[in-house]
Structure 1
Amino acid sequence: MMNITKTKRNFIGLLTLFSLLCGGVGAVVLHKALPGHYFSGYPFIPVFFYLFGLFGIYMFDACRRHAPQKMLLMYMAMKVLKMIFSLFLLMIYCWVVREEARAFLLTFIAFYLLYLIYETWFFFSFEMNRKRKSKNENRNETIA
Structure 2
Amino acid sequence: MDFFKAKLVTSLLAFGLIMGALVGALLYYQFPQYYPHWYEGILLFFLILESLILVYVESASRKVTQRQMLNTYMLTKVVKIFAALIFIGAYVAIVKEDKKSFILVFMIFYLLFLAMESFLFLKIEKRLKNKQRFE
Measured on the aligned residues, the alpha-carbon RMSD in Å equals 1.7
The higher-RCO structure (CA 8 Å, 6+ apart) is: 2
Q: How does 1:103-114 map to 2 (within 5 A)?
A: 103-114=101-112
Q: Which residue of 2 aligns with 1:118?
A: 116
Q: Does the Cα contact within 8 Å between 2:58 and 2:124 map onto a contact in 1?
A: no
Correspondence 1:14 to 2:11: yes
Q: Which residue of 2 aligns with 1:68?
A: 64
Q: Which residue of 1 aligns with 2:33?
A: 36
Q: Does the Cα contact within 8 Å between 2:61 and 2:128 map onto a contact in 1?
A: no
Following superposition, the deviation at residue 133 of structure 1 comes to 4.9
Aligned residue for 2:115, secondary structure, equals helix
Distance 1:122 1:58, change over 3 A: closer
Distance 2:95 2:72 in 1: 34
Distance 1:59 1:133, change over 3 A: closer
Unaligned runs of 5+ in 1: 139-144
Unaligned runs of 5+ in 2: none
Superimposed CA distance per residue, residues 69-105 of structure 1 (whole angstroms, 9 cap, x where no aligned partner): 2322111101100100101111121222222110000
The aligned amino acid for 1:11 is L
Aligned residue for 2:32, secondary structure, equals coil
Match of 1:50 among 47, 50, 72: 47
Q: How many residues align?
A: 133
Q: What's the TM-score, normalizing by structure 2?
A: 0.87
